[in-house]
Amino acid sequence: MERGKHDPTPPGAPRWFFDVWSLVYDLPLVQRATYWPVHDAVVAALRGGTCGRVLDVGCGTGQLSSRIRRELPRSRVVGCDFSSGMLRRAAERGGAVWVQGDAARLPFARGSFDAVVSTEAFHWFPDQHAALVEFQRVLAPGGRLLLALVNPPSQLVSEAAHLGSRLFGEPFYWPTMRQMRDRVEAAGFRVERQDRVFRLPGGLLLPPVLTVAVARKGRRGAAARSRRRRRLAPTP
């Protein structure tokens, strides 16, 4: 639980990087190979519970947000991303409400959602703890968090990937499964399960994992967050 040591501290990858990425993002090959397997896992997990108001953080071009709206007709979905390029594409798709915002400072009131989902985005957030605390804040008590991203098999791989990404000027950090669990719990959640998501070919070496957690109610959630804050070095 070493935020100062392991999280790429601000600034993270620049917004323009995602604006450029949005131009090729929806190519069917890119989507099928990379994103659909984790979207399938999230939609299946949402079906298993009540999912009324859903927030998709780092929604990109809105593929998952609009799919949730389509396949779970009772849901009301808000897609949030900090990239205007991604959000422009999302707006063409429709199906959800699109809001520009940073994961670490979500522009929503406390308790606004029953579920927060985020796929292939969390590793880009420069302050992962701040983002998790925000997810907890905007969730109603008992609301569910569904986070899917690569969780490397060892911390050495996480560190190596982080170093490489910094050298390219687009820093990210993939937590291991254990780190993911610790971070989510430290922000006031109870982790229900962590499922590996099958994805070929890269997924064999760098498997995506879906972490499903429940927001602890009132004081217990706040106590976990402040314990965590006391243990952390301040962000430089």
Ligand X SMILES: C[S@@+](CC[C@H](N)C(=O)[O-])C[C@H]1O[C@@H](n2cnc3c(N)ncnc32)[C@H](O)[C@@H]1O
Interaction site with ligand X (CB under 6 A): 18, 35, 58-60, 63-64, 81-83, 86, 102-103, 119-121, 124-125
Of 8 and 58, nearer to ligand X (C-beta) is 58
**How far, in Å, CA of 173 to CA of 171, rounded?**
7
Of 81 and 114, nearer to ligand X (C-beta) is 81
CB–CB of 62/129 below 8 Å?
Answer: no
Of 125 and 173, nearer to ligand X (C-beta) is 125
Of 54 and 216, nearer to ligand X (C-beta) is 54
Beta carbon of residue 76, minimum distance to ligand X (angstroms, whole number): 18
Tokens 């947000």 correspond to what residue? Answer: 65
Beta carbon of residue 208, minimum distance to ligand X (angstroms, whole number): 10
Beta carbon of residue 223, minimum distance to ligand X (angstroms, whole number): 27
Q: Cβ-closest residue to ligand X?
A: 60
Beta carbon of residue 195, minimum distance to ligand X (angstroms, whole number): 16
Of 119 and 151, nearer to ligand X (C-beta) is 119
Of 52 and 101, nearer to ligand X (C-beta) is 101
Beta carbon of residue 88, minimum distance to ligand X (angstroms, whole number): 11
Beta bridge partners of 210: 148, 195
Of 47 and 220, nearer to ligand X (C-beta) is 47
Beta bridge partners of 147: 118, 211
Beta carbon of residue 188, minimum distance to ligand X (angstroms, whole number): 20
Beta carbon of residue 190, minimum distance to ligand X (angstroms, whole number): 24
